[in-house]
Amino acid sequence: MLLGCIGDDFTGSSDLANTLVKNGMRTTQYCGLPQADAGADVEAGVVALKTRSIPVEEAIEESLQALEWLQRQGCTQFLFKYCSTFDSTPEGNIGPVAEALADRLGARKVIVCPAFPGAGRTLYQGHLFVQDRLLSESGMENHPLTPMTDPDIRRWLGLQVKGSVGHVAYGQVAGGAETIAAALTREDQAGHRLIVVDALTDDDLTAIGAAAHNIPLLTGGSGIATGLPGNFRQRGLLADAREAWEGVDGPAVVLSGSCSNATRRQVERYRQAHLSFEVTADAVMDSSVDVDALVHFVEKHRDAVPLVYSSADPATVKAAQSRYGTEPLAHAIETLFSDLAGALAATGFTRIVSAGGETSGAVVRGLGIEALQIGPEIDPGVPAMRVTGKPLAVALKSGNFGADNFFDKAVTALGAQT
């Protein structure tokens, strides 16, 4: 294995795996810390963790264990993948995990770049934009677990870390790989270990990747991986052999626990033409809806590809959180989706589309998935995936990714005919 990646959630990890595969690296996504060594043909390994919203110390511990496993697989470069909207709180977990990984690797010039232009996330003068809005006015300020209220990534990261934060501004990024490399060295000499790097386009990300060819640790959204396969290819290290994709036929279901804007549009659209079941926070907390009831509903409409969702607008989410507490409520909803996914797979569902990062982590846990092969891209950042060794295909959609008709497209993409 050449490139070792650690993702802080499952959808984000599949987004990264998708970028690596598109750029020609044979990639496997591992769900949680792998219990065995990777296959000899794996060029990039993505260890997907669910560390975005857990206590900082636990996130550090799990990330370091993943790093050790990746080091044992022979990786020479490492990438810590987090959300392109920098989902974190003033305490972390992005900064503390990045610092812990850098400490362990003795790494300097650690790039921090959440930009993902393909999904409208750009970074200019240290400020993160989602399309034409600042991050803090993009809807992300209402995220149920990690409300992003400051678009200045240097300032937000600064709250999370022990060291100081550097910056390579767009003027230097536009100068290309050599200029970027010189700017990283300048920031390093000024005593900054974590360095926020602006990026507006895929070409910028390719140049940043080229500048980072000998840097041990990069951090960012999936975009930061864009230029890395090219570095390995230049050194003659890639087989450039594509894996064949095989979808799966059989019953399909859509599960959505994401409350992000894009998901809520997708839920609305899908509900117009499909049967759906809304799981409200009250119903989960007073147990008037449970797994058995949901399995019964989905089974009854087995051939109609039904949707089960808890997705709700910000005001509804806020009110429910103040009634039940953010954590207990998120935990209860995630547990329900996890148990539901497991029960549906047991009754023969073979195609599962899941929306939301935390939700998808819970779904993957419920399905007991260990490793995933990456298939065709459904929408930017979301690949179809096949569970290694099982007739089960999944799509794990990040909250704000995907076109309004994503659910229909995903169900089709997971099928055998694609």
Ligand X SMILES: O=C(O)[C@@H](O)C(=O)COP(=O)(O)O
Ligand Y SMILES: Nc1ncnc2c1ncn2[C@@H]1O[C@H](COP(=O)(O)OP(=O)(O)O)[C@@H](O)[C@H]1O
Binding site for ligand X (CB under 6 A): 9, 11-12, 15, 83-85, 116, 221-222, 260, 356-357, 381, 398-400
Q: What does 320 bind: ligand X, ligand Y, none (CB cut-off 5 to 8 Å by kind)?
A: ligand Y
CA distances 175 to 33, 110, 169, Å, are 39, 19, 11
Question: What gap in Å lies between CA 71 and CA 365, rounded to an integer?
Answer: 25
User: If binding is defined by CB under 6 A, does position 399 make contact with ligand Y?
Assistant: yes
Radius of gyration for the chain, computed over Cα atoms and rounded to the nearest angstrom: 20
Antiparallel, parallel or unpaired: β 133-134 and 127-130: antiparallel
Residue 221 contacts which entry, ligand Y, ligand X, none (Cβ below 5-8 A, type-dependent):
ligand X
The answer to whether 145 contacts ligand Y (rule: CB under 6 A) is yes
Q: How far is the CB of 51 from ligand X (least distance, A)?
A: 12
Within 10 A of 207 (CB to CB), how many other CB atoms are there? 23
The answer to the question of residue 353 lying near ligand Y (CB under 6 A) is: no
Backbone angles phi, psi at 120, to 5 degrees: 80, 10
Q: In a 3-state reduction of DSSP, which class is residue 214?
A: coil
User: How far apart are alpha carbons 350 and 26 in whole angstroms?
Assistant: 24
Nearer to ligand X, 223 or 229 (CB): 223
Owner of token pair 């921090």 = 112
Contacts of 396 (CB under 8 A, 6+ apart): 10, 11, 14, 354, 360, 363, 364, 382, 385
Query: Residue 83 binds which entry of ligand X, ligand Y, none, with Cβ cut-offs from 5 to 8 Å by kind?
Result: ligand X
3-class DSSP assignment, residue 236: coil
* Residues between 312 and 351 that touch ligand Y (CB under 6 A): 312, 317, 320-321, 329-330, 333-334
Return the number of the residue (229 or 361) whose C-beta is nearest ligand Y: 361
The distance of closest approach from Cβ of residue 241 to ligand Y in the complex, given in angstroms and rounded to an integer, is 33
Count, residues near ligand Y per rule CB under 6 A: 24
What tokens were used for 221?
A: 């959204």
Residue 383 binding result from ligand X, ligand Y, none, given CB thresholds of 5 to 8 Å by partner type: none
Residue placing its CB nearer to ligand Y in the complex, 36 or 315:
315
Decide which of ligand Y, ligand X, none touches 84; Cβ closer than 5 to 8 Å per partner kind: ligand X
Binding site for ligand Y (CB under 6 A): 143-145, 257-260, 263, 281, 310, 312, 317, 320-321, 329-330, 333-334, 356-359, 398-399
